[in-house]
Chains A and B, each alone.
Chain A
Amino acid sequence: MESEKLPENSDAHHEHSSNCNGTITCKDCLDVLDMVIDQEESPTEAFKQHLKDCLPCLEKYNLDKAIKEILHKRCNHQELPPGLVDSIKLRIFDNAGS
């Protein structure tokens, strides 16, 4: 069944970079902020320096990071309904004919 298959790997190329000793603007910083927080890209020196120099960007970074951490901690568990695992196995292995 075609629609159930995952497509072949496609590389995630990083489009953003900045020279190590240069400075970056707020726009440059915010463009990569999500990627840094999601660990899709490691922060450059210029990025780290910008956070030291720019309070609004630093606050946005801290806020976004805090929200991500809280989501991960608080929203990643939902009590499994009792019997769900057993009923899955029962339905599958009974119909599998062995």
Chain B
Amino acid sequence: MGKQKYTEQEKKDVFNREFMPYVDSMYNFAYRLSLDQDDAKDLVQDTYLKAFRFIESFEQGTNAKAWLFRILKNSFINDFRKKSKEPSKVDYQEVESFYNSDEVDHPITTDLRDDTVKEMMGDEISNALNALDVDFRTVIILCDIEGFKYDEMAKILDIPIGTVRSRLHRARNLLKEKLNSYAKKMGYL
């Protein structure tokens, strides 16, 4: 985990080559976390400034996207979540016990089917996702939208892989409950 030594020009090159290509994903992540365009913009700017400041602890050739996402997530928690009124409602004890229970969880939402979901517009999926508590929303964004692997998510979120799995599992069930009620409201079911 040694620090790299870069000249000013090398710093710029690394920054442009390794970090800037992820600006779209970063903004999408920031927006889906904060649900506010101005906050998202600030978050992305702050993240890139930090990334540049600490560029010497980034090892070239390693996963720049995961590294950047981790900084963004930490900035969100430290600088943005504090001032928001919405406290985290996730009870992790409950999550773990839910996942570890021996009950076979055949779908809670038995009437929701894949063809129903495929008929829905993107907005409904997006709204359902945005309505989830931020910790649940985050794992879905990282896994399903951004395509991170469980071990990468564990590093980005600073949680064990087992917790990634259980949180993702619970998040998906909650998302399906939301989609199910949207589907009913909209007359798909």
Contact = CB atoms under 8 A, between A and B. Distances in A.
Interface in B17-69: 20, 23-25, 27-28, 31-32, 37, 40-41, 44-45, 48-50, 52, 54, 57, 62-63, 66-67
Contact of A67 (B23, B50, B141, B179): B179
Given A71-B125, A84-B27, A34 B67 contact: no
Nearest to B140: A71
A59 B114 contact: yes
Interface of chain A: mostly helix, strand, loop or mixed = helix
B126 A88 contact: no
Task: Using C-beta atoms within 8 Å of the partner chain, give the interface range for chain A.
Answer: 35 or more
Nearest to B151: A12
Interface of B: 1, 8-9, 11-12, 15, 20, 23-25, 27-28, 31-32, 37, 40-41, 44-45, 48-50, 52, 54, 57, 62-63, 66-67, 70-71, 74, 102, 104-107, 112-114, 117-118, 120, 122, 125-126, 129, 140-141, 143-147, 149-151, 154-155, 161, 165, 168-169, 172, 175-176, 179
